[in-house]
Structure formats: structure tokens, C-alpha cells
Amino acid sequence: MDGFRKTSDPVEIAQLATKSKSPLAELYFTKAGGISLKWHHYLDIYHRYFTSYRNKPLRFLEIGIFDGGSFNVWRPYFGEQATIYGIDIEPTSAAKVEALGLNCHGRIGSQADPDFLRAVVAEMGGVDIVIDDGSHVAEHQLTSFRTLFPLLSDGGLYVCEDLHTSYWEGDWQGGYKRPGTFIEVTKDIIDSLHAWYAPIKNDLSDMQLHRSVPAIHIHDSMVVVEKAAVEPPVMIIR
């Protein structure tokens, strides 16, 4: 079985940069400041879904910011009209974000605290894109989704990444087909989309996702959930 690996080798990173085609990838490989860890294949995937939000009023929230390195990419990519916030449990993260001088904002708290999440979104004036790059612990991911997805604007996106941890046991609360992992939650979302056609009973049934999720996109270690009002399907006979 082929395995994954990590690299910090400048020569190999330069080679990887030539394989990425999107403007976001170009920013990632050229902007300095702070530490940012991303899987190489994420960069072009981000651009695929985020490009239509660029240089427009946008409210963007990233869960898990460490020392704010990713904001060196998000700010120039989305433009000056974007409101950009991040949260982390590390007490020094907020100050590091503010020190970047990019008009981005960090808040300290847990993604497993619904009251904290709601307070941050209220401060932002709403939210259009959420990226969950936080603890990667299954119950934390589910709490964040259940709290933030209902607050997401129509036309918004909810991104949960690093879902390979759903297959890892131990602190990640993962395991192949283990109930409660975000991979299994993703399968529940897929089922929920089809509640028009059959009774669907799962842990997300109360969210009525068939009325608010027009599409879900699954990639290696990442899921992108669209938010928009969905009308009941109509079969046309002519």
C-alpha cells in the first residue's frame, strides 16, 4: 500500500509548486510569514470552490489557525473586502494573527463550544465560508458542523478537512466505519439529501439538510458542503 508523507525540503517543495496551477497555490508557495501546513492537493481544490468569492464582501472563518500562517494566503487571495477571522485554543494564536498586520482577527476558544462559535459569528456579522482545520477530533468536528452550518449564509460553503483522521483510532476518535467520525457524518449528509424520496433517520435528521444542502463534494481528506435553500424536486413529464 502506498503511504502519505510530509516534506519540508526546499527542493521538493519547489518541485511541488510547479505542479500547482491555481493563483491560490502560487500565493501559498510565495508568501512568507508564519507556519502553514497544508496537503499539496488542497491548494487547487480550494481555488476550485473559492474563486467566485474573491474581491467581494466575504465573511470567512477558519477553525485552527496556529500562528496565522494561512492568513498570508487568504488575505491577498480574497482581497481587502473580506472579513477574515480564525479561532484556536492556543492562547498565543490571536496575538500572532493581529501581529501580521493583515486586518485579520484571531479569537481564543474551543470549536467544541457552541456558545463561543455563535459569539464569533455574531461578531463577524455572519459567515459565508467555514474551514474546519481544527482539532480533527470526531466529536469536535460534529459539534462545529451542527453549530455553524445553520448560521452559514445562503450560497455559503462549509469545508471540513484532514478527514483521514476519521480512519485513525485513539485521540482522533476514528476508525474504519466507526460511527461518529466525520466520514460517517458525510455519509449521513448524503443520505439526508435524499429525504424527499424515503424516510431517512440518522443523527442529522433534525437539521433537515435536504432543504438546505444542494450539493456535497468529496475529495481526499476533504468534504465541501454547499448551503442554499432547496425546493422539493419536480419530475417533469412532457
Mean pLDDT on 186-198: 97
pLDDT (tens digit per residue) in 6-36: 676 666 666 666 766 788 888 888 765 555 6
Give the C-alpha separation, 120 to 124, whole Å. 6
**List 41, 47, 105, 136, catalytic entry:** 136
pLDDT of residue 23: 83
pLDDT of residue 171: 87
- When pLDDT is averaged across residues 198-204 and rounded to a whole number, the result is 94
Q: Is pLDDT at 159 greater than 50 in this prediction?
A: yes
Architecture of the structural domain at 55-226: 3-Layer(aba) Sandwich (3.40)
What whole-number distance in Å separates Cα of residue 67 and Cα of residue 48? 26
Confidence of residue 68 (pLDDT cuts 50, 70, 90): confident
Q: Is the dihedral of CA 84, 113, 164, 127 positive or negative?
A: negative
Backbone angles phi, psi at 79, to 5 degrees: 95, 175
Phi/psi of residue 103, nearest 5 degrees: 60, 40
136 labelled catalytic? yes
Residue 37: what pLDDT? 67
> What rounded mean pLDDT belongs to the chain?
91
Name the pTM for this structure.
Answer: 0.90
Q: Is the Cα torsion angle 4, 157, 184, 174 positive or negative in sign?
A: positive
Query: Which residue shows C-alpha cell 509548486?
Result: 17
Specify the pLDDT at position 34. 58
Distance set, CA 68 to CA 10, 135, 179, 223, 231 (Å): 21, 15, 32, 22, 39
Domain ranges of the chain: 55-226
Q: How confident is the model at residue 138 (pLDDT cuts 50, 70, 90)?
A: very high
pLDDT digits (tens, 9 = 90+) for 160-183: 999 999 999 988 899 999 999 999
- What would the grid cell of residue 189 be? 449528509
Contact indicator for 9, 1 with CB cutoff of 8 Å: no
Tell me the sheet residues that pair with 231: none
